[in-house]
Structure 1
């Protein structure tokens, strides 16, 4: 059965090396049991990368004795927050269900002609710990609001084109309620967990790793400069090319002096350049300021 409500709203966070331990020991998670799973994922594309060019991810995931086929479109958002379409259904074995795939909207146009050429291109293998969080834990102090967020912690690696890179990230997915609950929970966690927003999916990271190519977008507005800095940090940690860390620092410096920032946003932005260590890893101050700034910029965008 395909997911009949295919809009996914999530906040992705990259963790510093000390982040996983700090997250699992966070007092807000103490009374919630964690589910632990091993996930093996194979991503498919054509040899020419037609799905990657269309910013679509297609994978088969083996978990708990089942094989799930998933399609995800490109996320819209920034500062770690994304909204994207997702379809997922169980398949009998580790073979693509091309018939059901052809029925999905993303494959109704030009991509309908490439289904026969789809083949495995990269894999992501990781251990996932997940928590189902509700109500006051999600949005401390909120009254009369009910939200359900799935918090997952993924640790493993991406293998693509003969290259490998670690996976060490958390994702907050809104299952029910207001997206504001995602920001509230992320900000609470960032007070004790060294983390930062990430704008790169596992699939996009794998594609960039295989091609050894990490393009950065042009930037003009504060939100665009924050997005550029975030992508540059993602690229640095996967490529280990020092130029990307320099790109991130330059973007953060430009952001801190941007004339379009209001007073509160400027305080957050000015805390960012000094919040990364020499290895590009975030302090808790960096993560908290980056999330607060991303939240404020997203709110200002909604008001326009």
Structure 2
């Protein structure tokens, strides 16, 4: 198994069409080695979508001549930051290792009875460029893996592009993820994303993108983020309207302090007509998400 304490902490960022080029040309990355890989991924579920309903992703990944099996639980968080359990191990070939899956905590309850019904449901094929980065002062450095994924999701006869960056904390403090993301946002058009590749594929297959109810500032930011994710995968204009309405409501929310309000008010005008962010959107959205997460932690 990948780890005895398999908690993945990462910050996911959706990139505008010009984002990948801007990211690879960022001066901060110029002195760091880059690794390029081709990843072929197949996600499994029952025909009834039992894993998707439980917010669990199960995949086989072919990379560098190996096949890796991965189980991920639902991410907890928002504003692009998520924490979730993850188990990953190498398997002999392109068939599921059902015996090992059956031993994992997510499959100890109701899901213990669905293993024999698992079958391929969607695929995500992409090119990954990755950098191993150290953030923070000497002696207190955090290790972050930055990856840039470009490719597509294929699900239920539908396709949608993958164009995203992920910052995964390999060691150290989550604060380092925010610092690096804000550094990149200075020159890269990006925005937080709260949708995993698996959840995007599931929604694509069913052509159903539900949005959560919102009350607090963090919930309105989450709703806006999911609406933008849904718009770019569905191309349904109603989701772009939902995102703009959520951002407008957020900007006037009575619970925001003056600093958070300034960030929130910068967001609606920093999206273009196609719902793509400019650099100002990324900086304001990340700064706001960071502030909201910090205030939530203090409560």
Q: Which one of the candidate residues 246, 266, 272 is aligned to 1:271?
A: 266
- Alpha carbon RMSD of aligned pairs, Å? 0.7
Q: Does residue 92 in structure 1 map to residue 84 in structure 2?
A: no
Q: Does residue 178 in structure 1 map to residue 173 in structure 2?
A: yes
Deviation at 1:4, TM superposition (A): 2.2
Matched ranges for 1:1-304 at <5 A = 1-134=1-134, 138-139=135-136, 142=137, 144-304=139-299
What is the CA deviation profile of residues 103-143 of structure 1, one whole-angstrom value per residue up to 9, with x for unaligned ones? Answer: 00000000000000000000000000000001xxx24xx46
Q: Could you tell me the TM-score, scaled by structure 1's length?
A: 0.97
CA distance in 1 between counterparts of 2:73 and 2:293 reads 20
CA distance in 1 between counterparts of 2:259 and 2:132 reads 32
Which stretches of structure 1, 4 residues or longer, exceed 2 Å deviation after superposition?
1-5
Q: Could you tell me the TM-score, scaled by structure 2's length?
A: 0.99
What is the CA deviation profile of residues 177-227 of structure 1, one whole-angstrom value per residue up to 9, with x for unaligned ones? Answer: 000000000000001000000000000000000000000000000000000
- Structure 2 SS opposite 1:52: helix
What is the CA deviation profile of residues 227-281 of structure 1, one whole-angstrom value per residue up to 9, with x for unaligned ones? Answer: 0000000000000000000000000000000000001000100000100000000
Q: How many residues align?
A: 299
Q: Mind listing any 5+ residue stretches in structure 1 that lack a counterpart? A: none
- Structure 2 SS opposite 1:67: strand
Q: Mind listing any 5+ residue stretches in structure 2 that lack a counterpart? A: none
CA distance in 2 between counterparts of 1:231 and 1:85 reads 21
Matched-pair contact (CA < 8 Å) for 1:3–1:89? no
